[in-house]
């Protein structure tokens, strides 16, 4: 799938496709030129820790297993021979078994290089992993995104939405019935939750609906509200990768109902196998 973006006044065509066993990468975005042969040395500062503690071997073995059973595990956005976007997914059963940030002492991060991911995978036998990846529900769950890492020039270019669009097509063609994803209200500050997941609005515009509403812990809700108010006051100093939120906060705050939902998260879902296009959500 091709996706056109404009970077520094120049149109560029990204190639969005599902990762297969011929080229297995992890979370970090890698600078071009990237090949299977040089990946062990590309961006060595990030890779050093993962190689030292053995996490990357766990990731690679798990990803290869999922690719063989599910068909893929990551949607990649390629800019020539460099990766500028990735979207990690697994089966609903696998995700619910390994848990997530609530169990890993973090409310925001589902990325595979979080300290809790590799130990969770290692706690299962090979047969159990196969069973979870077989997915009786035939449901995939998106775990996290990374677009441009912290480089804002790639943000706001529709890359994440394009990767979801590709996953919908790929999953339908491969016999999956539903895609799910965790999400959060549009008003939620990037500085609180990062860019690991799309907000509710973009998912709804892609045909997803709320399957489950989740109340976040009171301390997390309070932190979100303080950050929102700080951005609205123009007194917030924010990192470069928060520029999209800083530029859009007033538009997001125009709808007064945000005050009743900043303390929510959501499980969003998109049904794939209905010929009439209706969205019958299953759980």
The residue ranges of every structural domain in the chain are 14-271
**Mean pLDDT taken over the chain:** 84
Look at residue 269 and give its three-state secondary structure: strand
Q: How many residues does the chain have?
A: 283
Mean pLDDT over residues 155-164, rounded?
91
Angle, CA 265 vertex, CA 260 and CA 266 arms, to 5°: 110
- Answer for the pair 4, 13: CB distance below 8 angstroms, yes or no: yes
174 pLDDT higher than 90: yes
Print burial letters for 113-131: b (CB count within 10 Å at least 16), e (below 16): bbebbbebbeebeeeebeb
220 vs 149 pLDDT, higher one: 220
Range in 138-142, 209-213, 238-242, 271-275 the model is least confident about: 271-275
- Answer for the pair 47, 33: CB distance below 8 angstroms, yes or no: no
Strand arrangement, sheet containing 139-147: 2-7, 10-18, 74-79, 82-91, 139-147, 178-183, 264-271, 209-215
Mean pLDDT over residues 262-275, rounded?
85
Looking at 135-255, list the stretches that DSSP marks H as alpha helix, in order from N- to C-terminal side.
159-173, 190-193, 200-205, 218-232, 243-253
pLDDT tier at 156, thresholds 50, 70, 90:
confident
Name the CATH superfamily housing domain 14-271. Answer: Gcn5-related N-acetyltransferase (GNAT) (3.40.630.30)
pLDDT digits (tens, 9 = 90+) for 6-59: 988 999 999 999 999 988 886 566 666 777 667 666 654 555 555 556 777 888
CA separation, residue 265 to residues 11, 75, 188, 223, 224 (Å): 35, 23, 10, 14, 12
How far is Cα 172 from Cα 174, in angstroms, rounded to an integer? Answer: 5
How far is Cα 257 from Cα 27, in angstroms, rounded to an integer? Answer: 35
% of the chain with per-residue pLDDT over 90: 51
CA separation, residue 260 to residues 175, 221, 228, 234, 250 (Å): 38, 11, 13, 22, 17
Residue 278, pLDDT score = 44
Please report where in the chains the tokens 């169990």 appear, as a residue: 103
Mean pLDDT over residues 164-168, rounded?
96
Residue 50, pLDDT score = 52
Q: 18 forms bridges with which residues in the sheet?
A: 75
pLDDT digits (tens, 9 = 90+) for 62-108: 999 999 999 999 999 999 888 889 999 999 999 888 876 555 444 44
pLDDT tier at 229, thresholds 50, 70, 90:
very high
């Amino acid at each position: 799938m091709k996706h056109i973006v404009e970077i520094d006044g120049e149109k560029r065509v990204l190639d969005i496709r599902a990762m297969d066993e011929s080229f297995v990468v992890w979370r970090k975005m890698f600078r071009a030129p990237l090949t299977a042969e040089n990946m062990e040395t590309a961006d060595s500062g990030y890779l050093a820790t993962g190689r030292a503690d053995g996490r990357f071997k766990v990731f690679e073995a798990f990803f290869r297993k999922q690719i063989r059973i599910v068909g893929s595990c990551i949607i990649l956005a390629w800019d020539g021979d460099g990766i500028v976007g990735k979207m990690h997914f697994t089966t609903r059963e696998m995700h619910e078994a390994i848990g997530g940030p609530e169990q890993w002492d973090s409310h925001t991060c589902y990325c595979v290089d979080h300290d809790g991911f590799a130990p969770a995978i290692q706690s299962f036998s090979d047969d159990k992993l196969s069973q979870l990846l077989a997915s009786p529900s035939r449901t995939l769950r998106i775990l996290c995104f990374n677009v441009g890492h912290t480089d804002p020039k790639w943000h706001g270019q529709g890359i994440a939405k394009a990767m979801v669009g590709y996953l919908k097509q790929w999953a339908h063609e491969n016999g999956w019935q539903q895609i799910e994803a965790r999400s959060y209200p549009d008003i939620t500050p990037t500085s609180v939750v990062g860019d690991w997941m799309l907000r509710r609005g973009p998912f709804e515009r892609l045909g997803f609906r709320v399957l489950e509403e989740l109340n976040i812990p009171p301390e997390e809700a309070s932190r979100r509200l303080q950050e929102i108010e700080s951005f609205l006051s123009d007194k917030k100093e924010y990192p470069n990768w928060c520029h999209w939120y800083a530029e859009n906060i007033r538009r997001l705050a125009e709808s007064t109902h945000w005050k009743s939902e900043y303390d929510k998260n959501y499980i969003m879902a998109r049904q794939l196998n209905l010929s009439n296009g209706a969205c019958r959500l299953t759980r």
